């Protein structure tokens, strides 16, 4: 039976597909860590109180990257080269989502609009990350190798999403509501296209490694396209809504260490 659990289990059981899965995940998390670190360092004076939370966000992402590298090490595997068409964070930047690396590499203070753009971008991408980790948590919370990592990362992603809601609502109360909604909508509509393309690319590479027959690959591709069609029609709206989170000040303290992994 072709199910999410069976699909992930097949990927996890094979060394090469597991190697690619962890390498893609580690690369994205590490990239996010660097971006957040730079944004924290360049935050405008009017938002200096936010800088420690941005830095905490980045520290969590760095930790996740180390966790995925540690999972590879446990299996005696080295990181794989990540195909450019599977690089979610790079492709989002290429499509103009978030703050560019060129801007972040300059030692120029960011503006309030830059911070709002960063938070809106994060609100959309953290929605995706949180949902993906919830899916893995549902199926692999008790997995001997992956379970502890999934629980830790899922908790962090839920905190990141709550933080984005909380801070964007703070900016909305100060008069930036229309700007936030415009940026959120632009980010969401672009993200669902990038996610579709990356998902198709990842499935292609996994299918090549695992020797999937054409019929199986076609069914998976149709499923990805079906999800995109739903998200293009209405599903994107879940990424742009804002509500006061149950988790208040979720990034108000130091990052949770992961000594068992890093």
- Tens of pLDDT, residue by residue over 33-58, are 999 999 999 999 999 999 999 999 99
**CA distances, 232 to each of 131, 191, 254 (Å):** 17, 10, 37
> Does the predicted TM-score (pTM) go above 0.85?
yes
Q: Residue 249 region, left (φ>0) first, then alpha (ψ -120 to 50), else beta?
A: left
Per-residue pLDDT tens over the stretch 140-194: 988 887 899 999 999 999 999 999 999 999 999 999 999 999 999 999 999 999 9
Q: In percent, how much of the chain has pLDDT > 90?
A: 87
Which one, of 108, 107, 88, lies nearest residue 98 by Cα? 88
Determine the Cα–Cα distance for residues 96 and 10; give it in Å rounded to an integer. Answer: 35
Average pLDDT over residues 92-102: 94
Largest CA distance in the chain: 57
What domains does the chain contain, in order, with CATH numbers? 4-239 (1.20.1260.10)
Determine the Cα–Cα distance for residues 232 and 253; give it in Å rounded to an integer. Answer: 37
Please check the confidence at residue 65 and state whether its pLDDT lies above 90: yes
130-137: list long-range contacts, CB under 8 Å, 24+ apart.
Answer: 130/154, 130/157, 130/158, 130/160, 130/161, 133/157, 135/4, 136/8
Per-residue pLDDT tens over the stretch 245-262: 887 888 876 666 655 554
pLDDT score for 182: 97
């Amino acid at each position: 039976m072709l199910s999410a659990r069976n699909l992930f289990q097949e990927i996890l059981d094979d060394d090469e597909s597991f190697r690619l899965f962890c390498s893609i995940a580690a690369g994205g998390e590490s990239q996010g860590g660097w971006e957040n670190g730079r944004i924290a360092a360049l935050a405008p004076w009017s938002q200096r109180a936010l800088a420690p939370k941005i830095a905490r966000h980045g520290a969590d992402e760095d930790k996740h990257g180390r966790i995925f590298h540690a999972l590879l090490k446990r299996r005696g595997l080295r990181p794989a080269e990540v195909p450019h068409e599977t690089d979610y964070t790079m492709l989002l930047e290429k499509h103009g989502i978030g703050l560019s690396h060129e801007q972040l590499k300059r030692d120029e203070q960011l503006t309030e609009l830059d911070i709002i753009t960063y938070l809106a971008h994060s609100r959309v991408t953290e929605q995706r990350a949180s949902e993906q980790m919830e899916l893995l948590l549902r199926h692999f919370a008790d997995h001997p190798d992956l379970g502890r990592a999934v629980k830790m990362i899922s908790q962090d992603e839920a905190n990141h999403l709550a933080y984005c809601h909380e801070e964007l609502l703070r900016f909305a109360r100060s008069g930036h509501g229309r700007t936030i909604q415009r940026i959120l909508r632009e980010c969401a509509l672009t993200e669902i296209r990038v996610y579709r393309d990356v998902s198709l690319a990842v499935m292609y590479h996994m299918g090549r490694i695992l020797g999937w027959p054409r019929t199986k690959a076609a069914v998976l591709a149709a499923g990805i396209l079906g999800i995109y069609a739903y998200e293009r029609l209405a599903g994107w709206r879940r990424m742009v809504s804002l509500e006061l989170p149950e988790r208040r000040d979720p990034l108000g303290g130091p990052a949770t260490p992961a000594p068992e992994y890093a």
